[in-house]
Amino acid sequence: MRELVILGSTGSIGRQTLEIIALHPDEFRVLAISSGGGDPALVIKQARAFKVSYVGVVDNAEVIRQGLPGVTVIDGELASAKIASLACDVVVNAITGSIGLAPTLAALDAGNILALANKESLVVAGDLVMSKAKPLQIIPIDSEHSAIWQSALAGKSDEISKVILTASGGPFVDRTDVSGVSLADALKHPTWSMGAVVTINSATLVNKGLEIIEAHHLFSLPYPAIEAVIHRQSIVHSLVEFHDGSTIAQASPPNMKGAIAYALNFPHRLAKVTPPIDWSVKQQWSFEPIDDTQFPALALARHCGQIGGGLPAIFNAANEIAVAGFIAGKIAFTSIVPLVEAVVAQSVKLAPQMLTDLSDVSAVQDDAQMLAHEHLIRLAP
């Protein structure tokens, strides 16, 4: 039996992780969950259903404590990091955003296996995170990286010539003019059901940019060896090309459960996690090159990744502010990427070449957020 800790338990990935665990009570036990605490009723429900020993929350700690006699409730900004360092078999980091970095470092420092859905950990501090990780200590949950991980098992790492990340293209893939699109339009993802931030990042393709940086760190590949391609059906989750000219792909219907279960139970596969592809119906899979003019976020992310140091954290921090600004109705969808571009351009000369600890990362992020806020005010209608 594997003992698990789930960070971000009330979010989309966290809830799906608990659904998988509920179906496999003999394989897993949940030791602890953590979340922001914005939905205390759900936290209490999850903690009771899985008989957890610890709960970590930022908000509503008292309500949750009263609802969970006998459970240790850890609260405050550091709650998830504290929960991540509890001795266990696997820590699932399903937190959205760069606030997932501290818990990632805590899990690695404690020697726990880290099933990582929080791509921002690797984007904002990839060198730092990878320097702390032992081989096989981080197992990706991001579906593209899980697909690369699975496909890479078909050869040796020095036989990989490149990896190809697939992108659905988001809701605006066929629109040349996205001015005036609403929040509701941007949240209508054609194939995936995900949290709001990831869905908007998919519409701008910032998400794919973050995933290129994530892949660079996770698989120690140079940026030219990481490509991205539009695959509208979201069934082939990514591909690995080996130096003999052979390409191996991982395919399953668009559903995060396969990737989550694989990370929870690596190297073994759990039975009946997700329905397989139905070959009794006609399948048509398409792969199209990405238009860099239509999606400038991709080249921008690559540029930040290649320069490295503090720049990927600046790219991500500016995007987090821009997306929050769009969700709050402060800026137009079309202003998201230009805002990020402007902050990156202003920061490129001043960005530190290396981030050695959490406080370095925070300092860089704070500066980028301040610049991003200035642009938000300037761009407001």
Binding positions for Mg ion, rule: CB under 5 A: 142-144
Q: Which CB sits closer to Mg ion, 228 or 361? A: 228
Q: Which CB sits closer to Mg ion, 61 or 141? A: 141
Separation CA 325–CA 196 (nearest Å): 13
Q: Which CB sits closer to Mg ion, 106 or 239? A: 239
Min. distance of Cβ 143 from Mg ion in angstroms? Answer: 5
Min. distance of Cβ 211 from Mg ion in angstroms? Answer: 6
Residue 194 CA, chain-centre distance (Å), reads 11
Separation CA 85–CA 295 (nearest Å): 39
Min. distance of Cβ 259 from Mg ion in angstroms? Answer: 9
Q: Which CB sits closer to Mg ion, 142 or 341? A: 142
Min. distance of Cβ 376 from Mg ion in angstroms? Answer: 26
Separation CA 302–CA 87 (nearest Å): 37
Min. distance of Cβ 370 from Mg ion in angstroms? Answer: 29
Q: Which CB sits closer to Mg ion, 213 or 355? A: 213
Q: Which CB sits closer to Mg ion, 7 or 79? A: 7
Q: Which CB sits closer to Mg ion, 143 or 252? A: 143
Q: Where are the alpha helices (DSSP H) in the chain?
A: 12-22, 40-49, 61-67, 79-84, 101-109, 119-132, 143-152, 183-186, 196-204, 206-218, 257-265, 297-307, 311-327, 336-347, 358-379
- Coil/strand/helix, residue 7: strand
Separation CA 121–CA 104 (nearest Å): 7
Min. distance of Cβ 193 from Mg ion in angstroms? Answer: 13
Min. distance of Cβ 315 from Mg ion in angstroms? Answer: 17
Q: Where are the alpha helices (DSSP H) in 234-307?
A: 257-265, 297-307
Q: Which CB sits closer to Mg ion, 144 or 367? A: 144
Min. distance of Cβ 77 from Mg ion in angstroms? Answer: 27
Q: Where are the alpha helices (DSSP H) in 133-191?
A: 143-152, 183-186
- Determine the Cα angle at 327 with ends 325 and 333, to 5°: 75
- 233: CB partners within 8 A, 6+ apart: 168, 191, 254, 284, 285, 286
Give the nearest residue (CB) to Mg ion: 142
Min. distance of Cβ 31 from Mg ion in angstroms? Answer: 27
- Determine the Cα angle at 101 with ends 190 and 273, to 5°: 45
CA distances to 48, 187, 284 from 127, rounded to whole Å, are 38, 32, 39
Separation CA 337–CA 330 (nearest Å): 14
Q: Which helix (H) or strand (E) holds 29?
A: strand 28-35
Amino acid at site 292 = D
Q: Which CB sits closer to Mg ion, 79 or 228? A: 228
Q: Smallest Cα–Cα separation from 378: which of 334, 344, 331?
A: 331
CB atoms within 10 A of CB 65: 17
- Coil/strand/helix, residue 44: helix
Amino acid at site 301 = A
Min. distance of Cβ 229 from Mg ion in angstroms? Answer: 14
Q: Which CB sits closer to Mg ion, 58 or 192? A: 192
